[in-house]
Chain A
């Protein structure tokens, strides 16, 4: 193997690919990145057997070949290199990779490429294409609600429901839920319900930075793996096995109060007031009455704060309390200038959405407090 590439391009790719390396692995080879020459240049692959990330960067290949190099070392080293052509050459007799760049002449001990486990990379399955921007947007808007609680593995994933071209992406941690609808290019018949690890979806924005067009998605026939490709970047992931909760039944279908506010003002106000919501439930109280919304928070040892905002309020007056973080998470991914809240009493779930659209919904369970 012998090739020449640009250190800063290689460095960026290494940093992205390395994110698939787990810090505590039982298989030493998984600490390495697979380097392979391809017709397009140099391919870099890392995996922890659950998630795999692959990127191809432009390179002038003189001799074809492959090996695996220690990820941490290679990534840290390449990041320090000067902007000069970087030449890589593998001595196959002892699996030593020479890296020459500017004033550096370095030799890195590698492990044979055939030791590297084949990643979860389905060759055949059901295909669909999703516009990159809309997929990344949907991930950003839903992943905030996914759980990190490993005791309930299903909730650490996002539900991807495919019904022909209509896709629904859902995440919930049991306290709040986010649902985003989007459109894909796929065959009419394809129907599937998949649980994709939120951590894998979270890698897509990073891995696909700089790419454009559509994301090609491939779902294995056995429905146990999913594969995303945009341009020369790929992310593969194992799917989570299990039954996703019947989430549709918790989305409120009626409301007794509906409130419309300016998203930016509300977010700034919640941020400020919630500094006084320090207890573990992080409670912010909302009181909606004709023409205005009052936000308040109190922590005994800290103090209290309240703020009043002008708002369009329809329906009955209400007092309700939420974990401020859950509200802020929703507001931070709300693209519309205005935001609509729908309430149906202080102990029923609240709904947050952009007005006039049902493409995005965010449901929060309230905190029960003594009002």
Chain B
């Protein structure tokens, strides 16, 4: 059953109609869809290494306390009958492409912003502006089409901003549909804990708690000057978000924010040369992704997980974005030098790129290459 909540009977016009669509338990749902034997079972997607980590867990597995990023051996302790399937990234991407093709029937490509393979924002204002269809209609039709054509369920939040749409969508999962009507955004957000606001880290949360701010409503109602004292000028921005005032556009031309790849070593590695080998393989994968997405990256970061699970991460920024494997590897290697103390054991190495841009039609030419 789809759940509809917070439909306060009041009908301001919709200045913008923004949908947040999140496919439920995406990775495992793809496998359960394709293999009936997996349906209704606790399934996780994870690698084969003795140190594999859960990449995605089905709702059946989640009910045993299994969640993504949990070490596989721990997941097995929570749920002995756990079924482990190896990841198949090409299948996930293909499925994601199908879902995006459906999105494009409802709005133009520049109004579809992909956040991840399984998550996107859609601005469907053109469909609802003249009253030809209601926001709820559009959301239901998207859910229905994804379900019948792709065989997956999605949770959808509908609101006048990205922020509220995302929080709404996350509030009823799986297979949810939550509408927050125009004018009711602040009331909808008020009772929620402040942690739902993106960009609010645990430290800021703690600082706010000390001045008695626990819910989003507390934050919205605080005296702005006081917030600025506690949080700096960022406090005023957070407050606007807490009041449901988010004007950021759905930007389909914006590429995904980061692309990353990582590998957990079978046994801890201390040797720098071996780390560099692993780094080279990861950079190769990453570069392939950059090329196929047609984007270039400005910042390269390297992440190391030490045997005590502590994470060390350093980044290196380039002056001009690149998709050249060698350039990215050089940047990654200098980030590795900054993060890795010689002869210290490393459990996992990851590399990622951010500051992604589509190549400019205006091209700054270079002197040497």
Residues of chain B within 8 A (CB-CB) of A347 are 365
Residues of chain A within 8 A (CB-CB) of B311 are none
Residues of chain A within 8 A (CB-CB) of B360 are 279-281
Cα-based distance from A365 to B365 in the complex (angstroms): 6
Does chain B have a CB within 8 A of A105?
Answer: no
The answer on a CB contact under 8 Å between A172 and B367 is yes
Closest to A347 in B: B365
Does chain B have a CB within 8 A of A82?
Answer: no
Interface segment, one of B2-10, B112-120, B302-310, B312-320: B312-320
Does chain B have a CB within 8 A of A150?
Answer: yes
Give B316-369 interface residues, CB cut-off 8 Å to A. 316-320, 327, 330-331, 334, 341, 357, 360-369
The answer on a CB contact under 8 Å between A365 and B316 is no
List 12 A-B residue pairs with CB atoms under 8 Å apart, sorted by A's residue number: A149-B317, A149-B318, A150-B334, A151-B327, A172-B367, A174-B319, A175-B319, A175-B320, A175-B367, A281-B364, A321-B362, A369-B361
Give A311-353 interface residues, CB cut-off 8 Å to B. 321, 323, 347, 349
Q: Which of B334, B341, B357, B365 contacts A367 (CB 8 A)?
A: B365
Given contacts A250-B367, A279-B360, A283-B362, 18 further A-B contacts (CB under 8 A): A150-B317, A151-B334, A152-B330, A174-B369, A175-B319, A175-B364, A175-B365, A176-B367, A245-B367, A347-B365, A365-B366, A365-B367, A367-B362, A367-B363, A367-B365, A368-B363, A368-B365, A369-B361
Q: B138-164: contact bitstring with A at CB < 8 Å (1 yes, 0 no)?
A: 000000000000000000000000000
The answer on a CB contact under 8 Å between A151 and B318 is yes
Interface size for B (C-beta < 8 A) is: 22
Residues of chain A within 8 A (CB-CB) of B330 are 151-152
A26, A279, A280, A321: most-surrounded residue (chain B CB, <10 A)? A280
The answer on a CB contact under 8 Å between A280 and B357 is yes
Residues of chain A within 8 A (CB-CB) of B369 are 174
Q: A183-222: contact bitstring with B at CB < 8 Å (1 yes, 0 no)?
A: 0000000000000000000000000000000000000000
Question: 10 smallest A-B Cβ distances: which pairs?
Answer: A151-B331, A365-B365, A281-B362, A368-B363, A149-B319, A250-B367, A149-B318, A174-B366, A245-B368, A150-B316
B316, B318, B364: most-surrounded residue (chain A CB, <10 A)? B364
Does chain B have a CB within 8 A of A370?
Answer: yes
The answer on a CB contact under 8 Å between B367 and A147 is no
| Minimal beta-carbon separation of B266 from chain A (angstroms) | 29
Closest to B363 in A: A368
Residues of chain A within 8 A (CB-CB) of B327 are 151
Q: Which of A151, A152, A175, A281 contacts B300 (CB 8 A)?
A: A151
Give B152-208 interface residues, CB cut-off 8 Å to A. none
Closest to A177 in B: B367
A174-B367 in contact given A152-B330, A280-B357 (Cβ < 8 Å): yes
Cα-based distance from A365 to B316 in the complex (angstroms): 24
The answer on a CB contact under 8 Å between B334 and A153 is yes
Cα-based distance from A347 to B362 in the complex (angstroms): 12
The answer on a CB contact under 8 Å between B319 and A147 is yes
A368-B366 in contact given A150-B334, A175-B320 (Cβ < 8 Å): no
Does chain B have a CB within 8 A of A99?
Answer: no
Interface size for A (C-beta < 8 A) is: 32
Cα-based distance from A218 to B331 in the complex (angstroms): 32
Cα-based distance from A278 to B357 in the complex (angstroms): 16
Q: Which of B320, B331, B361, B368 contacts A370 (CB 8 A)?
A: B361
Residues of chain A within 8 A (CB-CB) of B357 are 280
Residues of chain B within 8 A (CB-CB) of A250 are 367-368
| Minimal beta-carbon separation of B224 from chain A (angstroms) | 28
Cα-based distance from A110 to B367 in the complex (angstroms): 50
B320, B362, B369: most-surrounded residue (chain A CB, <10 A)? B362
A349-B318 in contact given A151-B300, A151-B331, A370-B361 (Cβ < 8 Å): no
| Minimal beta-carbon separation of B206 from chain A (angstroms) | 24
Closest to B362 in A: A281
The answer on a CB contact under 8 Å between B367 and A367 is no
Residues of chain B within 8 A (CB-CB) of A149 are 317-319
Does chain B have a CB within 8 A of A232?
Answer: no
The answer on a CB contact under 8 Å between A367 and B364 is yes
Cα-based distance from A175 to B366 in the complex (angstroms): 5
Does chain B have a CB within 8 A of A52?
Answer: no
Q: Which of A150, A151, A323, A370 contacts B364 (CB 8 A)?
A: A323
Residues of chain B within 8 A (CB-CB) of A51 are none
Residues of chain B within 8 A (CB-CB) of A172 are 367-368
Cα-based distance from A366 to B367 in the complex (angstroms): 10
Does chain B have a CB within 8 A of A112?
Answer: no
Residues of chain B within 8 A (CB-CB) of A279 are 360, 362
Residues of chain A within 8 A (CB-CB) of B363 are 281, 367-368
Cα-based distance from A366 to B360 in the complex (angstroms): 14
Does chain B have a CB within 8 A of A106?
Answer: no
Does chain B have a CB within 8 A of A12?
Answer: no
Residues of chain B within 8 A (CB-CB) of A321 are 362
Q: A139-159: contact bitstring with B at CB < 8 Å (1 yes, 0 no)?
A: 000000001111111000000
Closest to B368 in A: A245
Does chain B have a CB within 8 A of A126?
Answer: no
| Minimal beta-carbon separation of B297 from chain A (angstroms) | 11
Residues of chain A within 8 A (CB-CB) of B362 are 279, 281, 283, 321, 367-369
Cα-based distance from A247 to B364 in the complex (angstroms): 18
Residues of chain A within 8 A (CB-CB) of B316 are 150-151
Cα-based distance from A333 to B287 in the complex (angstroms): 39
| Minimal beta-carbon separation of A230 from chain B (angstroms) | 32
| Minimal beta-carbon separation of B157 from chain A (angstroms) | 29
Cα-based distance from A245 to B366 in the complex (angstroms): 13
Closest to B333 in A: A151
| Minimal beta-carbon separation of A24 from chain B (angstroms) | 9
The answer on a CB contact under 8 Å between B367 and A349 is yes
Give A351-369 interface residues, CB cut-off 8 Å to B. 363, 365-369
Residues of chain B within 8 A (CB-CB) of A151 are 300, 316, 318, 327, 330-331, 334
